[in-house]
């Protein structure tokens, strides 16, 4: 059973930002992003470098919103989908902030917020830090599947890797938004080998974390339970499991559940098949849509579970199952 950490003193989200590309601008959240580049290159010559530049821009915007400089940050945690997280290190090294690179696949947003929260609460040496997460459709496609130029046919269960980045400044000084508890997820076998069906692979991990957290918490006290990137396929599997296995609690959770992969794009007018995915998907949805609603008081308390499909080109090529993980954090408005 996972252990839930309830914070005696909350960690505050001081500022946040969202950066995206062309398809993100066409979606329902397009006008809520801080910066959009419809060419998806962000002034760079390659998709890979463009992803690093997205991270740099996102962090710079979040710093400027709070009138901070890089010297005001004690630690920077970041991750992406590229091998060895080179987008994060390559895009953020110029800030000169002590750095921790993370890899949790599409769960990296929640993982970064969880890790940074734990560091800020456990040590007197850290008073403020940043978490940055990114993904780029073209960079991810040619690493995990086939280059966009190849024109491969996508299956109905496939999801669209978001070209997006989110940055979050966390600290101990009081603000309108706070993190009050968190729980690491367990690595769960999704019993799926198809890299074009990640929603199914991640659904079991999402269920495992939700069942663990709400075994000792009342879901009716929440306004939203947001999963990362299950898409339409994974979301339907999760909601069916919740209703079948958790009874009334499961039905309550299902009624509160939304998925970032279904919020980022307009599936009727954008060809995203089963929805969005990628590290930047839940990060940009959290920053552009969800946190402003917490800040305004529309949401009082939410649970965020970014879901990650833990795989590599090697593991998929060798026929291994796709493993899933779903860390969880609880975010509340300061008036609670």
Give the angle subtended at the CA of 35 by the CAs of 30 and 36, to the nearest 5°. 60
The CA distance from 198 to 322, in Å, is: 8
Q: Average pLDDT of 130-157? A: 78
CB 320 within 8 A of CB 311: yes
pLDDT over 90 at 40, yes or no: yes
Nearest CA to 224 out of 253, 198, 244, 245 is that of: 253
Q: Is the pLDDT of residue 147 over 80?
A: no
Give the per-residue pLDDT at 284.
98
Instruction: Give the tens place of pLDDT for each residue, 102-128.
Output: 999 999 999 999 999 999 999 999 999
| More confident call, 146 vs 64 | 64
3-state SS record for 3-64: CCEEEEEEEEEEEEEEEECHHHHHCCCHHHCCEECCCCCCCCCCHHHHHHHHHHHHHHHHHH
Q: Give mean pLDDT, residues 146-151.
A: 59
3-state DSSP call for residue 270?
coil
Say if residue 146's pLDDT is above 90.
Answer: no
**Which of 182, 251, 247, 257 is closest to 223 using CA atoms?**
257
pLDDT tens for 194-208 read 878 889 999 999 999
Confidence of residue 154 (pLDDT cuts 50, 70, 90): confident
Q: Is the pLDDT score of 167 beyond 90? A: yes
Give residue 152's pLDDT band: very low, low, confident or very high (50, 70, 90): low
Q: Is the pLDDT of residue 321 over 80?
A: yes
pTM above 0.85, yes or no: yes
> Which domains can be identified in the chain, with CATH numbers?
5-171 (3.40.47.40), 179-333 (3.40.47.40)
For the stretch 253-298, pLDDT in tens is 999 999 999 999 999 999 899 899 999 999 999 999 999 999 999 9
């Amino acid at each position: 059973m996972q252990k839930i950490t309830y914070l005696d003193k909350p960690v505050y989200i001081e500022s946040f930002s969202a950066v995206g590309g062309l398809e993100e601008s066409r979606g329902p959240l397009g006008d809520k992003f801080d910066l959009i580049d419809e060419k998806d290159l962000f002034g760079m010559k390659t998709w890979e470098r463009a992803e690093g530049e997205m991270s740099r821009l996102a962090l710079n915007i979040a710093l400027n919103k709070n009138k901070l400089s890089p010297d005001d940050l004690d630690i920077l945690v970041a991750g992406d989908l590229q091998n060895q997280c080179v987008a994060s290190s390559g895009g953020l090294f110029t800030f000169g902030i002590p750095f921790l690179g993370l890899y949790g696949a599409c769960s990296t947003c929640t993982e970064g917020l969880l890790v940074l929260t734990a560091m800020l609460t456990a040590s007197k040496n850290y008073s403020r830090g940043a978490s940055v997460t990114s993904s780029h459709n073209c960079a991810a496609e040619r690493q995990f599947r086939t280059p966009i130029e190849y024109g491969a046919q996508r299956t109905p269960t496939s999801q669209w890797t978001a070209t997006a980045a989110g940055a979050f400044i966390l600290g101990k000084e009081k603000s309108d938004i706070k993190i009050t508890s968190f729980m690491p997820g367990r690595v769960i076998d999704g019993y799926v080998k198809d890299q074009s069906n990640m929603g199914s692979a991640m659904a079991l991990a999402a269920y495992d974390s939700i069942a663990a957290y709400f075994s000792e918490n009342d879901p009716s006290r929440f306004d939203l339970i947001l999963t990362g990137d299950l898409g339409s396929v994974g979301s339907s599997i999760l909601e069916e499991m919740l209703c079948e296995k958790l009874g009334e609690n499961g039905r309550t959770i299902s009624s509160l559940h939304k998925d970032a992969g279904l919020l980022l794009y307009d599936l009727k007018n954008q060809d995203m098949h089963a929805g969005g995915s990628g590290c930047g998907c839940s990060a940009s949805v959290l920053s552009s849509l969800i946190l402003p609603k917490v800040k305004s008081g529309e949401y009082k308390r939410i649970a965020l579970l970014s879901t990650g499909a833990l795989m590599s080109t090697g593991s998929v090529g060798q026929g291994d199952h796709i493993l899933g993980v779903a860390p969880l954090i609880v975010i509340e408005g300061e008036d609670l």
